[in-house]
Amino acid sequence: MRIVLLGPPGSGKGTQAALVVERLGVPHISTGALLRNAAKRGTELGLQAKSIIDKGELVPDNIMSDMIEERLGRDDVAGGFVLDGYPRNLAQAKSLDIMLERLNKPADEAIHIDIDTEQIIKRIAKRAKEEGRSDDTKETVRNRMRVYAEQTAPVADYYAERGLLTRVLGDGSKEEVLQRILSILDLNTSSA
């Protein structure tokens, strides 16, 4: 199963993606993790990306598309994947469709995690404290939410128009949200 997971910053995409891939046995492809790992290794791309991310801005489409295409071309995605953090704008969504068609791996489902802003602020503050992430400052979060509203939120409409989008409520425990997602995917939810 090939899944595109969408939602605002702090909606739980990464947490849910990790739980879903555990159930499906497919790779979790997180652009955030790919970029943070590149930054940690000190690669040129990683350092450029870190500078951009620390400002709460999006990494340029061409860099992200190249990175995603390389990752989706690996053998371990033959049985599917959960894509988390990409696409973040309409150009990336259209590029992803072309890329997936070329790779003969079209998306099966796009899931948008819906959550209110107050919950997001609480989650991001908690994550910043627990993980010490430099991209989770109050200023950066405000900018990320603005960028999300302007650039990323329309991606959900794009997938809805294609008949691939399902929205899931992101409030509640991670187990409750997982059950909602597994229900959408028609997977057995009793042993989650």
Residues acting as catalytic residues: 13, 88, 127, 133, 144
SS (H, E, C) the chain: CEEEEECCCCCCHHHHHHHHHHHHCCCEEEHHHHHHHHHHHCCHHHHHHHHHHHCCCCCCHHHHHHHHHHHHCCHHHCCCEEEECCCCCHHHHHHHHHHHHHCCCCCCEEEEEECCHHHHHHHHHHHHHHHCCCCCCHHHHHHHHHHHHHHHHHHHHHHHHCCCEEEEECCCCHHHHHHHHHHHCCCCCCCC
Please list, in sequence order, all residues whose beta carbon lies within 8 angstroms of the beta carbon of residue 94, skipping any fewer than 6 positions away. Answer: 158
Residue 9 tokens read as: 């910053």
Residue 71 tokens read as: 């990752």
Q: What is the CA radius of gyration of the chain?
A: 16
